[in-house]
Amino acid sequence: MNLYPNVYQLRSLYGRRNLFQYLFVGDAVVLVDTGIDETPEKVIFPYFERLKLPLDKLSLVITTHPDLDHQGGNHAIKRAVPQSRLACGEADREMVEDPRTLFQRRYNFAKAEHDIGFDGDEPWPEAGKRQPVDQTFKGGEKILVSSGWELDVLHVPGHSHGHLAIYDAKHRAAFVSDALHGRGCPNADGTMGIPVTYYLVDTYLSTLCYFEKLSIDVLYSGHWPTMRGEQVSDFIAESRRAVEFIDGALRRDLSRHPEGMSLKELVNSAAAAVGEWPNDSWFLAMFPVKGHLDRMVDEGEARLVRKHGLTLWQLIR
């Protein structure tokens, strides 16, 4: 889909959710995210053919953050266009380069101690093969696409430590991938798909503040519908309300259980309180719930205790 001159949104589905990549075409050709392992062959390369754009013109490929549906196509891209440069956020490099590291450190970070996460020890095929990146960004860099047109690289952590977004100041357009979550990620039909999955609570809130101050006419993401005008500020406000709601729900639960609660219990109770996330996706709320609990411990508001072989959280009264 042509968004505006020389900028395109590439569309497919991952499960029931939309999956978007973005293509900027000028003297340089820049691709943002590569989808899952099969996305290059099924979506990206055919789109180049549709545009009559030679594949070897692809110069820079940016992975916004470590998730299999945003980095899974990196190996296929590099194999097809070896001269293209792969990039990601500096803090996310190890997980972007190696699907095994992604699964161990990101998806199953709570499996061993808290018995919550994904089944199996091996990465899913959709995560693609191990692929080193050529460079990393810290935020603040500029990408020259054509004379008079450059893109700003933004560091917008919260969902991951090194999450990147792209800002096109010339068109007041922000390409935020999964940096903002609203109250959850929708399916393509508009129903709720999965919970919010930010982890670093305070940095996520800082990212929300950053986007509030940025001049954005239109916001494009990795899965959410395009937002314009007041929809952008409404989405940011909704994202903040979700953080406040989850924090309040966790504090209420812990206050009612002075003996302590496990991560799994807190995840399920928070998800039930939200009441909108599908039951089979509740475990993904481990990311924000663990993030809130870590913050409470760091600020001296909660403590960890061991009882009956379980790690529990207690409020400090």
Quick: pLDDT tens for 253-281.
999 999 999 999 999 999 999 999 999 99
For the chain, what percentages of helix, strand and coil (3-state, to nearest 5) are there? 40, 25, 35
Q: Average pLDDT, stretch 6-28?
A: 98
Q: Which two tokens stand for residue 159?
A: 């969902």
Q: Is CATH 2.40.160 the classification given to domain 257-315? A: no
What mean pLDDT value characterizes the chain? 97
Dump pLDDT digits (tens) for 126-180: 999 999 999 999 999 999 999 999 999 999 999 999 999 999 999 999 999 999 9
CA distances from 167 to 60, 91, 143, 181, 214 (A): 16, 20, 10, 18, 9
Identify the CATH number of the domain defined by range 2-238.
3.60.15.10
Element housing 211 (H / E): helix 201-213
Domain map of the chain by residue range? 2-238, 257-315
Q: What is the predicted pLDDT for the residue at 212?
A: 97
Characterize 277-315 residue by residue with b for buried, 16 or more Cβ atoms within 10 angstroms of its Cβ, and e for exposed. Answer: bbeebbbbbbbbbbbbbeebeeeeebeeeeeeebebbbb
Q: What is the predicted pLDDT for the residue at 309?
A: 87
Q: What is the rounded distance in angstroms from the CA atom of residue 157 to the CA atom of residue 143? A: 20
Q: What is the predicted pLDDT for the residue at 317?
A: 79
Q: What is the predicted pLDDT for the residue at 247?
A: 98
5 confidence band (pLDDT: 50, 70, 90): very high
Q: What is the rounded distance in angstroms from the CA atom of residue 110 to the CA atom of residue 268? A: 14
217 confidence band (pLDDT: 50, 70, 90): very high
Q: Which two tokens stand for residue 48?
A: 């180049």
Asked whether residue 121 carries a pLDDT value surpassing 80, the answer given is no
Q: What is the predicted pLDDT for the residue at 211?
A: 98
2-238 with 257-315: one CATH topology? Answer: no
Q: What is the predicted pLDDT for the residue at 122?
A: 86
Helix (H, G, I), strand (E, B) or coil at 309: coil
Q: What is the predicted pLDDT for the residue at 120?
A: 81
Q: What is the predicted pLDDT for the residue at 28?
A: 97
Contact 149, 26 (CB under 8 A): yes
